[in-house]
Each structure stands twice: as structure tokens, then as C-alpha cells.
Chains A and B, each alone.
Chain A
């Protein structure tokens, strides 16, 4: 950075575009509302143990004399078969879902980005191998591979995350590769190559920085899907294990009781919906705003 003026010259158009995008995004009230919901969820996730009315009910403590009580002023979401406060458990579930989703998305990004960047930049044989590999992974029906892997690895939350990572990485490896290929063809990269810059340096200096924006967008869109998948795996008994108050697991346990305790299955489900919907609306909004084809000012 030679001078502030130069900095402005480079970043002013981007800043302007960012402002424009923000304007477009927030023009839609629904999207603005979901942004607020996500912020609220993050706060809940961070402070869950402190804001839960019955923090001891989150895990193992039982309270059998209050079992399967309908929602009341004492227990907002009712109680489960061991008399635990559902509200506290659902609240804490926010933390589990958000954290696991973030970890899963982060790890799969760590696989996607380098692989895609290498495939796109180097081309040739490496590219071919990586792309055919993604072909194979992509030809599993979605979720099936996660289920199979989680089944083989054995049921636990960590294994569910691993299963999701293994089956999700190929989805955007192609996207990043495409980005890398287009950057490779740009003049400044050709110029760099022509003066003998090593290709590893090109990946780090040119390709990776240019793939970050689309990747972040994709990642934000993924979170909703990952939360749903983890809930589904837990529902099948392949994810979180009792007494973890994971939403999918709560719904799964509720199956024995829900016909006579509607609140048991309903509230964790609503929690999933609100969270996933908020993330999906944000993702959809971002896509709409950034897509030059539908971008309208």
C-alpha cells in the first residue's frame, strides 16, 4: 500500500458496491428480519447456559415428579419424560446446532478451497483426477452418503460432522475451480506467469484471494442445510446422543411420547425451522443481490 489515495482508488468502487449490495439486501424486509433473527440466535447460542431458566435441566438432571407437563408459565415449552424443562433444552440446542454447523462448514471449506484452487490453477492431470473424484461424490443422492458414512463410523456428533464434511466437500469444489480457471486466464496472472512466478505463489497471491468472496457467500447458504442434515442424522440415531439436547435428537426421543405430549416434538421442530429459514432467507437474499443477472437497482 503506497498511499492512502491509492488505497481509495482500489477499494472505493468495492466499497460502493458493498453499500449498494447492503441497500439491496435490506430493502427486502424479510431478509432484514432474518438477519436480526440470526443475530438473536447467535446471542442465544453464546449465552444459553445463563439465560436458560433451568440450566441444570439441560443435561442429565432429572425431575421426574414434573414429567411430561404441558407448557405453563413455569415451563414455557413443557417438560420431557424426565421432567426436564424443554425451554432450557431447546435454548441450549441452539448452541449445539450453530456450533456443529459452523464446524462442519468450516472444515469442508478447508478441503474445498485448496482442492478447487489447485485443480483450477494447475489444470491437466491433477485437475482431471480431482474433478472425476467430485463427480463420483456428487453422484450419491444427497444425504445418503452422510447416512452411510455416519452409520459406518458409529453414532456420535463428531462422526455426524465428519460424515457431513466427507459428503459435502465436492459441492463447491467445482465452483472454486471454475473461479480459479477464470482467474488463471486473466491478464495479470498470465503476466505473472510470463515473468516466471512459481505457480504456488500464484495460487496464494492471486487465486485464493479472488475466491474468498464467492466462498463466503456459499458457506452462509450452506449453514441452513447443514443444520437440517445434522438434525436428520440425529433423528435417525446417527448423530448426537442422549442426554445432549440436540434438536433432531429431541424430536427423535419425542416419538414415544408425542401423541400425548404435542409440545415435546413441536418446539424443537419450530426451533429448527426458525433457524434454518433465517439462514436460507439470508442466503437467498445474498444470492439475489450478488447475481448480476437478477440484480436490479
Chain B
């Protein structure tokens, strides 16, 4: 497999008034060219932190990157200067789509200005060429009446249209890696489906590598070949989508899957908010885990191989997946 993005031993902490708190602790995560990886977890699990870290956009002063590498096409992005990132990576090779289409577009510039600025920046086009390229990009995301959309301000567009514009801006300069941070979270269900379909198609036609972030197993399953489950900054289960969904091993993954609403599901299971008080040592899921035993407090479990590419972090598991 030709690896595009590889994350090793990444440890990121947040500064709080009670000292530093762990935000992300990833041993190893990789994404091949043209592959799709879905990251699932509840809010606060560190998904967005990971996305911003890849682009070097974590707010300085509030977060500390303690160690690790983020290798993109072999180069460690953490060693790049801001200028290098701005010129060669952000928007050009790595693009990101944000959660909220309502607030991701700048309200005081027209679509044409915002799209044009990015195309001009990375492709150096001007005048009529710039306009044609803008229209082409908007047509790529199936925005109806692309030419008139260029003149519009974001508030004149609907949520779905805005998200299409945002995708257009992200993909306007030939990005290889697309990071999508819950791109459908604030959209109506019917529009969600359209955007997901569009992303799926674009991924296939453009051969994009996609890091898809969501809080919901169902969404990720639609788009991604691989799934990683994040809990409190740690990957607790990772593997091919099918294996993770059908043969999930970690109790948290189970909770996530049972939360997918299904037709006539005999009973909806809920992940209990908290069964025990939070602890600092041991397994991060200890407080909420229905299967927890005393020994869970002894160490933070490592990922244990279950089958080809499928791994989960739970001390109750033995290699091969038996309990």
C-alpha cells in the first residue's frame, strides 16, 4: 500500500488551568493513497484536534505537541515552517472541510471572491481564466447555476449549497488528501444524503484520500473502507469497516454501533454516561465500560491484533479476538 498520511506517536496536550490535559495520544495511524479512513468518536474525543494538527492549525498557546510525527507523502509536517505549510500543503495538497457550513464561509465576501482567492493563490490564474476555473470547480460539485452563484454572498445560499461551495473551495487546487470534519453535521437529513453521495463520487473520480471524521458509525460506513474509533484521544479500535462493524471487539465500539437507529431494533442500547468515577490511570473507558474489571485500572491497554488489519485496545482481548 502506498501510504499518503502516517501518524506516529503523536501526543498533544491542552493547557488548562489545572495543568495540561491529554487531548490526543495516537500510536500509529495511516492512510493510503486513494483510501478512505473514517474516525469515529464522541465530541471531545480528539477528532478535530487531529484534523487541525495535520494542517498545523492548532491554536498556539493553548496546545502543546509533545512528540510524534505527522508524515505526509514522507515529509514530517510538524517540522515545516508556517510559510511552507501555507504555500505547499494547506489548500494545495491537503484540504479540509469544516463542520458548520453556516460559519465556514466568510460572510462579507462573495463566493466568487473566496473561491477566486484560493485558486489564484495556488494556481496563479487571473481574469477570465480565474473565472472559468471558478465556474468549473463549482460545476464539479454540482452547484446549479454556478456563474450567478459567484456573485452571491454566503447568506444568500442554502445550507446544502454552502457546503457544496466549501467542498469546491477545498478541492479547487487539486488536493490529494481531503479531511472532512463532520461535513454533514448541521444539515438536514435529505441534504446530508446528497452531500455524502457527492463526496463519495468525488473521492472515486478524483482518486482522493479521505480522512472522514464523524460522531456516528452509520455515516462513516457509507464512505470509508477503514474505520478508527477514538475515545478520549486514543484509538481504541481500528480496522477495515466491515470487520469493525460486524466483528467489533471494543465495548465502546459496541456502544457506538448499537446507537445506530435501525428498523425495528428490538431494543436500543444506550452507552451509560457513567458507571464509575473517572480515573486517571488505566483504561480511559473504565468509567463507562460495562465489562470493566479491577485489572482494567492497571494499565492503559495497547492495540491487540485480532485479524488482518483489525485491532482493538482492551485487556480482556486475546490475540485473535477471543475474550
Interface size class, chain B: under 10
Question: Is A297 part of the binding interface, using a Cβ–Cβ cutoff of 8 Å?
Answer: yes
Residues in A whose Cβ lies below 8 Å from that of B14: 297
Question: Does residue B15 face the partner (Cβ distance < 8 Å to A)?
Answer: yes
Interface size of A by CB at 8 A reads 6
A70, CB-defined interface residue at 8 Å: no
Interface residue B277 (Cβ < 8 Å from any Cβ of A): no
From the candidates B17, B59, B61, B62, name the one contacting A24 in the complex (CB within 8 A).
Answer: B17
**Most A-side CB within 10 Å, residue of B15, B16, B17, B62:** B17
Instruction: Let me know if B17 and A20 touch, CB within 8 A.
Output: yes
Mostly, the A contact residues are: helix
Interface string of B16-42 (1 = CB under 8 A from A): 110000000000000000000000000
Nearest-neighbour CB distance to chain A for B20, whole angstroms, equals 11
**How far is B14's CA from A262's CA once the two chains are assembled, in angstroms?**
53
- A297: chain B residues at CB < 8 Å are 14-17, 62
Interface residues of B in 36-81 (CB under 8 A from A): 59, 61-62
Report B146 CB to chain A, min CB distance, Å.
35
List which A41-97 residues lie within 8 A (CB) of chain B. none
Q: Which residues of B contact A152 (CB under 8 A)?
A: none
Q: Smallest CB-CB separation from B14: which chain A residue?
A: A297
Q: List which A242-297 residues lie within 8 A (CB) of chain B.
A: 296-297
Distance in angstroms between the alpha carbons of A24 and B16 in the assembled complex: 10
* A23 contacts across to B, CB distance below 8 A: 17
**Which 8 residue pairs of A and B lie closest in terms of their CB atoms, listed nearest first?**
A23-B17, A297-B16, A20-B17, A297-B17, A296-B62, A24-B17, A297-B15, A297-B62
A residues in contact with B17, CB < 8 Å: 19-20, 23-24, 297
Q: Produce 1/0 per residue, A8-29, CB < 8 A to B.
A: 0000000000011001100000
Q: A263 CA to B161 CA in the complex, in Å?
A: 68
Residue of A whose beta carbon sits closest to that of B17: A23
Q: How many Å from the CB of B250 to the closest CB on chain A?
A: 30
Chain A's closest residue to B61 (CB) is: A296
Q: Which residue of the partner chain B has the closest CB to A27?
A: B17
Most buried by B among A20, A24, A296, A297: A297
